[in-house]
Chain A
Amino acid sequence: MAAKKPRSTSGRSRSTPRSRARFSFVRLALSLTLVVGPPLVAATALAAWMEYAEIEKRLVETFDGRRWDFPSQIYSDSYAVYPGLAVSSDAFKRRLATLGYKPVPGRPARRGEYQLAGQEMKLWLHGFEYPDHREPGRLLEMRLDREGRVIRIAEADGGAEIYEFLLEPARIGGVHGASAEQRKAVGIDEIPVALVRAVLAVEDRRFFEHSGVDGRALARAMVVNLRSGEVRQGGSTLTQQLMKNFFLTDERTLSRKFREAVMAVAAEQRFSKLEILENYLNEIYLGQDGAFSIHGVWEASQFYFGVEPSDLTVAQIATLAAIIRAPNYYSPQRHPERARERRDLVLGMMHAQGDIDAGTYERALAEPVVAEAPGRGEVDAPYFLDHVRRDLLGRYPKDVLSREGYRIFTTLDPELQEIAERVVRENVAEIEADHAEVVAKVGQPLQAALIAMNPRTGAVVAMVGGRDYRTSQFNRVTDMRRQPGSTFKPIVMCAALGSEQVGAAHFRPTDKVMDERMRWEYGGEVWSPRNYEEKFYGLVSVRDVLEHSLNSATARISKDIGIRPIRDLAVRLGMDPKLQAFPAIVLGGWPVPPFDMAQVFSVFAAGGVRANPLAVRKVVDRDNRAIDGRTVEISRVIPATDAYMVTHLLAGVMERGTGAAARRKGFRHPAAGKTGTSNDYKDAWFVGFTPDLLAVVWVGFDQAASLGLAGSEAALPIWTDFMRQALADHPHTSFQIPEGITLVDVDKETGGLATPSCNKVVREAFLAGEEPHAYCPDHARF
């Protein structure tokens, strides 16, 4: 029998080595716990507290400081509507469509709608924050005449008569950072309650009850996920979603979820429910506009429906709330059926929670899901935008432009830009088709450029730097230098007719010049220009020289004036001071960009006053404070009389000369212009203007090669199509006759005062005192 183990007298079992070791370990552990535990717990708590403090600090920084990068937005010019303007035309309707206005059969019910019925138009303007005032979005009534021109404008329902109102500028582009986010942050008070409640209904029904994390929602999500065997619901509150978007990634891990929950609780401790809600509604991703992501309900309202949130219909509100879960999957544009199904679900929720009555619910269900992105991406002005961005980047750092949410107001007219893009595209395609062999032989696409300006203000209203921006971003309006050909001749004529020239160098429009082969020795070289038609016309008037673009006679006049005064005048009118003085410049032998030609001719159009070209009018910050305001800057560079005489000659070009094809195509506005063709038909130009609008057109190949077409054949048709459409709604305006000009009817052949027997009579402009006093010698017996 084995001996029993002796019991310990002390009541304790006698320890074995193993139990002793265990005891020692426990004792050690206890001791350690007692010694280390409290500091460890304290350290852990401290670490947790520090982490929490860090989270709170980040929260405060984010909520109080810069939450988002706001890209700067670039806007077109506004458009003035006044009595006399045609508003029932297709052009005006296009203008409205570009801005997101929709025609409705009955009286407009909300901003952004208009009704055109008979001789009346009702238009409910969008609200818009102009740099100097706010348009609240008024309902206006316009009475029209039978031609659709406005007779009277008044605020609706017997409101005051107004004499002019503005259609708001269109957003035409922006300056984005790497994030490429489109967002406008608005206060919670600018978001309709119905939209807020709809969002809460689908995303976080117990938002106002939980403290950042919703246990019930989590449990519900867990059940759903377990049942389905996949992660279908996250159970995240709206606060958690906001924390994830602000601070975390999309990774699906427990640690991320934990941090998200801690942050949500911290956020709820630190900020009010309304602050969190406002941030959420401005932050959420709601779709994609090409390369740009749409964030926030304001931006989404604009993107999908072309209205501000306050103008959303119930069905549109439900649609926005519906797509939050998966904006691209439920995209109303790409998947309208899916969007409709989910929208109807949201409408059901809104009805169930008493936000909408049965009638509203039924009407909203019947409303189609229409999201046509009105007013977005329809203004195609890529070259103009590049021009503006280049200007802005010369003044502001890129990150300021891409983050500060500036609004940049430009001079672009969206409708004229659309016309310009279209006529360039169509005409160039037509020329290419008609001259396929030439184009094939040259081996490069034909190109064209167009710039249009208001000559009195210098405002650039349209710019097309090439036929297709996608294939070539080179701006041929501003960056290309090509020989302007005969479009330079008006500068010669200005020098010849102008009051500054005296003696043999001074001409009157009726003076005769010999058009014959001539030699001009200059700088040791001999220059002998030929005429376009390879023949000479003998004795011709100055008017004939310009109307028929005679090279040899122009050179003769230039020789009498001297090349230096002509060169200096060209620079004064707006050409690059690098312009050299040599004879061939008088026939356009010095390459210039179309932009410069626009400046030069605008001086003639504006009565001798040069307006600095203007593309950016104003820059304001997000609080609508002016950062940069540019005004029209003008300076008189030639007397009004000189400008008028050149204009008068150029008007003759349109009536009888190389520009007459414009009249045959139906362009009737008082206008003046000049064709240009460079050597070997490498460049075709037309520069022309009315008192209201000037346009320069160039056609040619990038690598200079002969197209075989003159300016009147390649560029003039584009110019004519553009001007005809651009001015279709506008009343005719005549060139103002300045003091110091005398208009006299003369016989075109002799230049004498016209008699009833004269067959060819023109009204000629003379500097007062220079007009003829003798009757036409050939028809003096009348």
Chain B
Amino acid sequence: MGNWEAFAHASAALDRQVAALVADQAAARPRHSPAELASLRLAQRARDMTNEGRVEATIDLAERAIALWGGNGFANLWLAYAHHQSGRPRTAEAFASRAGSALPADAYVLGELAGLRASIRANMSGPVSR
């Protein structure tokens, strides 16, 4: 995989989650930490960088996103993709694994992740960590 459009569902899910957290933060008693929203917004910027083909900038932004909130599945997904693009399959697989446990349980999104992992595995010489 090397085609960003392959993550259309994840991208849309990210936008939906941002919208949901914006509403949450506006509520009298927010259920989520504001760091989560900040982290998701960084993931949006990381996605935009990836769309522009700026892999290093993607990594910078997505790393900042997970520094704020490790449960950001999208940031982990973009990191997996960026490291895969950069020829670092083991790191890519580790982020993909983390994304797997943090992304929303949406079959289409998880399907996109599965596609990425298959592509990463194809580039790996050793066993895949679980």
- Residue positions of A touching B, CB distance < 8 A: 80, 82-85, 132, 149, 163-164, 454-457, 459, 606-607, 609, 626, 629, 631-636, 639-640, 691-692, 730-733, 736, 738-739
Residues in chain B near residue A164, CB distance under 8 A: 38, 41-42
Cβ-based interface call for B71 (8 A): yes
A80-B38, A633-B91 given; name 10 further pairs at CB < 8 Å: A80-B67, A83-B25, A84-B35, A84-B38, A164-B38, A457-B66, A633-B94, A733-B33, A733-B69, A738-B101
- A571 CB to closest chain B CB (Å) equals 16
Q: What residue of chain B has the Cβ atom nearest to residue A133's Cβ? A: B57
Residues in chain A near residue B60, CB distance under 8 A: 132
Residues in chain B near residue A163, CB distance under 8 A: 37-38, 41
> Is chain B's binding surface mostly helix, strand, loop or mixed?
helix
Q: What residue of chain B has the Cβ atom nearest to residue A150's Cβ? A: B34
B70: which of A149, A629, A631, A691 is its contact (CB, 8 Å)? A691
Cβ-based interface call for B84 (8 A): no
Residues in chain A near residue B34, CB distance under 8 A: 82-85, 149, 731
Residues in chain B near residue A85, CB distance under 8 A: 34
**Interface of chain B residues 44 through 101 with chain A (CB within 8 A):** 56-57, 59-60, 63-64, 66-71, 79, 83, 88, 90-91, 94-95, 97-98, 101
Q: Roughly how many angstroms separate A733 CA and B41 CA in the complex, as a whole number? A: 18
A631: which of B63, B71, B98, B129 is its contact (CB, 8 Å)? B63
Q: Roughly how many angstroms separate A751 CA and B94 CA in the complex, as a whole number? A: 36
- Residue positions of B touching A, CB distance < 8 A: 25, 33-35, 37-38, 41-42, 56-57, 59-60, 63-64, 66-71, 79, 83, 88, 90-91, 94-95, 97-98, 101-102, 129-130
CB contact under 8 A between A631 and B59, given known A83-B25, A636-B94: yes
Contact A636 B97 (CB under 8 A): yes
Residues in chain A near residue B68, CB distance under 8 A: 80, 82
Contact A80 B64 (CB under 8 A): yes
Contact A84 B37 (CB under 8 A): yes
> Is chain A's binding surface mostly helix, strand, loop or mixed?
loop
Residues in chain A near residue B70, CB distance under 8 A: 455-456, 606-607, 691, 736
CB contact under 8 A between A82 and B38, given known A636-B129, A640-B101, A691-B70: yes
Contact B35 A609 (CB under 8 A): no
A457: which of B25, B67, B83, B101 is its contact (CB, 8 Å)? B67
CB contact under 8 A between A609 and B83, given known A132-B60, A631-B91: no
Contact B94 A634 (CB under 8 A): yes
Residues in chain A near residue B95, CB distance under 8 A: 634
Q: Roughly how many angstroms separate A732 CA and B33 CA in the complex, as a whole number? A: 7
CB contact under 8 A between A736 and B57, given known A457-B66, A634-B95, A731-B35: no
Q: Roughly how many angstroms separate A339 CA and B64 CA in the complex, as a whole number? A: 44
CB contact under 8 A between A456 and B67, given known A164-B42, A634-B95: yes
Contact A736 B130 (CB under 8 A): no
Contact B91 A84 (CB under 8 A): no
Q: Roughly how many angstroms separate A454 CA and B129 CA in the complex, as a whole number? A: 23
Residues in chain A near residue B101, CB distance under 8 A: 607, 640, 738-739
- A645 CB to closest chain B CB (Å) equals 15
- A92 CB to closest chain B CB (Å) equals 15
Q: Roughly how many angstroms separate A459 CA and B68 CA in the complex, as a whole number? A: 12
Most-contacted residue by chain A among B66, B67, B69, B71 (CB, 10 A): B67
Residues in chain B near residue A692, CB distance under 8 A: 35
Residues in chain A near residue B97, CB distance under 8 A: 609, 636
